[in-house]
A and B are shown apart, each in its own frame.
Chain A
Amino acid sequence: MRPFTYASASTVEEALAGAGADSAYLAGGTTLVDLMKLEVMSPAAVLNIDTLPLRDIRHDHTGLHVGALARMSDVAAHRLVTARYPVISQALLHSASPQLRNMASIGGNVLQRTRCGYFRDPATACNKRTPGSGCAAITGYNRAHAVLGTSESCVATHPSDLAVALVALDASVLLRDRAGERAVRLADFYLLPGDTPHLENRLRPGELLAGVTVPPLSWARRSTYVKVRDRRPYEFALTSVAAAVDLRGDTIADVRLAAGGVGTKPWRLPAVEDALRSRPLRADTVKAAVTHAADDATPLSHNGFKPELLRRTIVRALLTLAGRP
C-alpha cells in the first residue's frame, strides 16, 4: 500500500472542503482498502466520512430514501425495504458475505469497482486501471466478463447486485458538492466503457454520493432478485435478474426488468418489458418475450453461454413472481 495522509470529516461540509484531486472518501473500506493493498488505487489522501449523518432509511410520498452510509445488512433487514421493495433486500442478501455486508455502505456498493481479475492485477494490461495499456481480458480468460455494452477497450462487468435492483426500480443517486445537490438517475449515472473505461460514472472529483432515492412503486411488493453463480453463497453473478411485476389477474399490466453479470453496467431490458406488457404471466408467453433479450450480445471466447443463461434467468425470475400473492 502506498503512503497517504489520513483525516476524518465530522460534517458533510468538512468532507467536501477536505476533498482534493487525488483524495478518496473512506466509508466501509471493503473496496478502497482492498484496492489500495493491491495498489490498484493509490490516493494521496484518504478522508474518512464514515461518521457523517448519512445513515437514515425512511419512506415518504416521494419514495424510499437511503443514506449513502447505511450498511448493506441494515438496509437488507429494514422492514420498509423487505415489505415494499423485496428485490432490494434480496439483491443485498445475495451479495458478498455477512461480515462484508456489515461493513459495506450503500454508496460504496453503488460505486464499487469491477472484479475483473486483470483490473485487480497491476502486472497485466488494463485500460480501466491504466488508460492506454490495453485489455488483457479480451484475449485472456473471460468467462465471467460482459457480453453487453462492451468495447474494444473493456469488457469488465459491473459487479453490484444492488445496482441492478435499483436500475430496475428507476432509482436516483444524490450527489453533493460545494455548490449544492443534484439527483441523477442511476441508469444514466453509469457510463459505458467506450474508449474511456477508466471513466465509470458521472461523479465529479470531490463530489460526494450522499444517498439513494427509489421512487414510489406500489407493485414493487411483487419483486424478486434471481442470481446465478458458480457456488450458491458468497459469489459474484454469472447472470442475475431483478424483476417486478404489476399483475392484474394473470395479465402483466406493467413490468420492470434489469440484468447483472452480463453488462458493463447494470442492464435494463426495455424491449423485454415491452414484449411482456398486456400478456399473461405464463411460461409460454414469457419464453416468447425473452427470445430477443440478448440480441445485442457479443460473447467472448469463454462466455458464449451467457446470452442463453440470461434468457433463462429472466424466465425463472418472472415465473417465481407468478406464484406470489
Chain B
Amino acid sequence: MEDSTESEVSRRGFLARSAAVSAAVTVAGGAVPAGATTPVAAPPGAGPVEVTLRVNGGTHRLRVDPRATLLDTLRERLELTGTKKGCDRGQCGACTVHVDGRRVLSCLTLAASVPNRPVTTIEGLADGDRPHPMQQAFVDCDALQCGFCTPGQVMSAVAVVREGHTGSDEEIREFMSGNLCRCAAYPTIVAAVKQGGGR
C-alpha cells in the first residue's frame, strides 16, 4: 500500500503480536494447550540446515528447520504471504507455486529440498505495476468470491496455459482440478483461464 507509513500498525503485524501475547498468557497460566504434542527428544544432528532459496529472482541464504515446508518458509521467513495455506496436506492447491517452471504444492515441499532452484510465487508474476495477463483475466472475469484460493488458482492457471491444456472447457476443468474453490467460482475461473490463455 502506497499510503502506509512505518508508524502504522499493519493487520498482519498486529495479528502476529496478539498471538504471541495470548500464547504467553496461556503459558503463564500453566495450562497445556489441548492437542499439544508430547515433546520428544530430537535425534542427534536434527538441527537447522543451510539452504539457498531463489525466489522471484532474488536469492536468500537461510538456516531452516529440516521440517520447514517451502510454504511456511515463504510466508514466515520471506514474508511472501501471497501463497496461502489451505489444507496443508496437498489436497486443496491453495499453496501452488512454480519450481523450475512447473506447478507444485509448496505445503508438501521441504524448503531444504529445493536449494538453488528457481521458485516463482504469486508475487513474482506481475511486471512492476502491471498485473500478469492471467491476474488481469481473474479480475475481468470476477473469478473469485472470498479470494483465499485465488493465488493458487492463478499459479495453476498460468501453468495450464504453458502446458497447453486449454483446448476446451472440459480440459481446463480437468487440469485445474487440483485447485479447490469452496466458494465454487468455477465457471468464472474457467472463463478467466480462457481469457488469460488468449483463447
Q: Which of A1-40 contact B (CB under 8 A)?
A: 1-6, 8, 26, 29-30, 33-34, 36-39
| Interface residue total, chain A, C-beta cutoff 8 A | 32
Q: Is the CB of A233 within 8 A of B174?
A: yes
Q: CB-defined interface of A173-194 with B at 8 Å, one 1/0 digit per residue?
A: 0000000000000000000000
Q: Any chain A CB within 8 A of the CB of B69?
A: yes
Q: Is the CB of A4 within 8 A of B110?
A: no
Q: Any chain A CB within 8 A of the CB of B46?
A: yes
CB distance from A300 to the nearest CB of B (A): 25
Binds B, one of A92-100, A206-214, A247-255: A92-100
Q: Is the CB of B66 within 8 A of A37?
A: no
Partner of A37, one of B89, B104, B163: B89
Residues of A within 8 A of B174 (CB): 232-233
Residues of B within 8 A of A102 (CB): 102-104
CB distance from A99 to the nearest CB of B (A): 5
Binds A, one of B9-17, B37-45, B119-127, B191-199: B37-45
Q: CB-defined interface of B20-48 with A at 8 Å, one 1/0 digit per residue?
A: 00000000000000000100101111100
Residues of B within 8 A of A73 (CB): 102
Q: Is the CB of B40 within 8 A of A2?
A: yes
Partner of B177, one of A1, A30, A46, A233: A233
Q: Any chain A CB within 8 A of the CB of B154?
A: no
Q: CB-defined interface of B83-110 with A at 8 Å, one 1/0 digit per residue?
A: 0000011100100100000111100111
Known: A33-B69, A46-B66, A99-B105. A5 touches B43 (CB 8 A): yes
Q: Is the CB of B93 within 8 A of A97?
A: yes
Q: Any chain B CB within 8 A of the CB of A103?
A: yes
Partner of A234, one of B88, B159, B177: B177
Q: Any chain A CB within 8 A of the CB of B166?
A: no
Residues of A within 8 A of B43 (CB): 3-5, 44-45
User: How long is the Cα–Cα vector from A271 to B188 in the complex, in angstroms?
Assistant: 49
User: How long is the Cα–Cα vector from A203 to B159 in the complex, in angstroms?
Assistant: 36
User: How long is the Cα–Cα vector from A5 to B42 in the complex, in angstroms?
Assistant: 9
User: How long is the Cα–Cα vector from A38 to B90 in the complex, in angstroms?
Assistant: 12
Residues of B within 8 A of A29 (CB): 108-110, 113
Residues of B within 8 A of A161 (CB): none
Q: Is the CB of B112 within 8 A of A6?
A: yes
Q: Is the CB of B90 within 8 A of A6?
A: no
Q: Is the CB of B49 within 8 A of A6?
A: yes
Q: Which of A227-255 contact B (CB under 8 A)?
A: 232-234
Residues of B within 8 A of A5 (CB): 43-46, 66
Q: Is the CB of A4 within 8 A of B177?
A: no
Q: CB-defined interface of B164-199 with A at 8 Å, one 1/0 digit per residue?
A: 000000000111011000000000000000000000
CB distance from A129 to the nearest CB of B (A): 17
CB distance from A188 to the nearest CB of B (A): 30
Q: Which of B42, B104, B156 has the most chain A CB atoms closer than 10 A to its own CB?
A: B104
Residues of B within 8 A of A96 (CB): 178
The residue of chain B having its C-beta at the shortest distance from the C-beta of A29 within the complex is B108
> Besides the contacts A33-B69, A45-B43, A98-B156, what 20 more A-B pairs have beta carbons closer than 8 Å?
A3-B42, A4-B66, A4-B67, A5-B46, A29-B109, A33-B90, A33-B108, A33-B110, A34-B90, A34-B108, A38-B89, A46-B110, A98-B160, A98-B178, A99-B103, A99-B156, A102-B102, A103-B105, A103-B108, A232-B174
A to B CB contacts below 8 Å, 6 in the list: A33-B110, A44-B46, A46-B110, A73-B102, A98-B177, A103-B108
